[in-house]
Structure formats: C-alpha cells, structure tokens
Amino acid sequence: MFFSKNLIGSLPGLIGYYFPSSVFIWLIFYAIFTRKKGAKIAGISFIIIYVSFMLSGYLSVTMFKIEAKKAITEIETQFEKIAKSSDSPSGIPERIQEEIQTSPKSKGVIGEMERFIKVFMDRSVSLRNDYLLELSAIGWDKILDPTRIKNDTMFTESKITINKAKEIVEKYKILTNSLFEDMYNEIDKLEMEENLKRSMRDGFKKGMGPTKIKLDRNWFLEGKGVSEFEKIIDLLSTNKDAWVIENSQIFFYNENDLEEFNAYIFNIQDIVKEQQLIQQQSIDQTEESLKLMKENLK
C-alpha cells in the first residue's frame, strides 16, 4: 500500500512517516477488538501495528533502492554506448548505430521512470541520426570538395545545397524543441501517482532551463557554421579568376583571398570546438548526476 509513496529511506523519516498512520489504525483496531481487553493488550496491539508498518516501510524502501539502482545502472549503460558512438575519430559527427532498449529492467514506478528516460534517449538519438542523414543526402559533407567545386562551374549546386542546409538546421531546431515539449506531456501518461508525476514535471521543467540554453547555443552554432560555408562559396563564386584547383586542392593567386578563405575555415573550426565542448560538458554532467543518484541510494 505504501510502496509507491514511501521515498524517505531513513529511520527517523520512517518513524515520523508511519507514526500517525499507526495511531489511526490502532484507534480503529482498539475500538473494535481490544477496548475491553485491558491496557496491556491495547499497548501490545499498538506496538505490533507500529512495528508492522515500520517493517513494511523498511522493506519497501529497500526494494525501492534495489529497483532504483537497477534502473540507474541500465540507464548508465545505455548512455555510455551513446556517448561512445557519438565520438567519431574523424571529428565529424556520425550517426549513432547503437540501438536503445527502451524496455525497463526495473519494476513498478521505478520501471516507469526508467522507460520514460530511455524513450527520451531513443527519440533524441533518432532525431540526431535523421538530422545527419538529411545533411548527408544533400551532399553537405562534399560542400568544399575541390572536385565537386571544379565541376560546379556556375556554383548553382553549391548555393542550392547551402539553402537546403539552412532549412534542415531550422527544421531540426524546431523538432528538438518539440521533442522536449512532447516528453514533458508524456509524464501525464505514466502509470504512477499524481504526486510523483507532479515531482517529475517540476524536475523536468527545472532541468530544461540550463538544457535549453545549451540547445539554443548549439543550434545557433549550427546555423553560424552554415553561414561560414556560405561565405566561402560566395568568395569562390565572385572571384572565379582568383583561384585554381590543382591536385585536388584550391590555390589562390592573391594572398588576401587566401587569408579570407583561411579565416572562414578557422571560424568553422572554432565552432566545431565549441560544439564539442558543449557535448562533452553535457556528457560529464549526466554521468556525474547518475553517479550522485546511485550514491544517494546507499
């Protein structure tokens, strides 16, 4: 009866939590069964009721901790797989191949929480993979390929690709924000008591503050990166006589044009570094949070 409510865990907490309930149950028991049996029997009956509550409470807390540790360990395992898969040796983001197992390993209300988090992870991975897939489909990874540029004499293909990339960035920026809104609403569908749903909603909303800042910054950087590539294409298309492609490399006749080209490349590299830093900070923060949650269950 008290399993889903009892999140206290400490002996003082159990004593304070169950004493009013024990008194209430005892009063009913006393009025019906022991009122005429004497003070000794009445006292013993109260102790038995109180100890029963305490014992069941302690067992429920123990089971809660076991299931919680099981859920956190499973989430840690899935998260580590994602983190490793997203870390490409080339430094270029790649699609995550690891499949998220959304079925919970824990039971009860903890299992519901575990499933919720794993579904969130799964949808996030799918969204990231779809984003990279669409960029790949428009040939974004070849945007500065010298052979492609050499064949795109009017730069028509290049400009179309740039515009498509802008649309894709904006599309997935909106989809990412929608994902968080959808998952917030999914809390209402979880099979748990309303007070726990309310706590989850409050925690989700609180955590969304700093997360939203990082998300907005990341999508700003994505858009800025596309703009830097666009500047390179504009430089090449407006100064066709200022450069030549030899041995699959772009050579500039003018030092100023070369410096401008390199400045755009450096900007792109700085953007990538900041994005990698944001990603690593998010990974470290998540791992630390999971670690603290496990320590608090000891």
Tokens of 166: 């802008």
DSSP symbol at 154 = T
Tokens of 67: 């299931």
DSSP symbol at 150 = H
Q: Is the pLDDT of residue 166 over 70?
A: yes
- Specify whether the CB–CB gap between 26 and 53 falls below 8 A: no
What letter represents residue 65's amino acid?
K
Between 67-71, 163-167, 180-184, 265-269, the lowest mean confidence (pLDDT) is in 67-71
- Specify whether the CB–CB gap between 217 and 278 falls below 8 A: yes
SS3 content of the chain, % helix, strand, coil (to 5): 80, 5, 20
- Rounded to an integer, the average pLDDT of 170-195 is 90
Q: Is the pLDDT of residue 35 over 70?
A: no
- Rounded to an integer, the average pLDDT of 89-112 is 73
Please list, in sequence order, all residues whose beta carbon lies within 8 angstroms of the beta carbon of residue 177, skipping any fewer than 6 positions away.
215
Rounded Cα gap, residues 108 and 64, in angstroms = 9
Rounded Cα gap, residues 28 and 26, in angstroms = 5
Domain boundaries, the chain: 1-99, 138-298
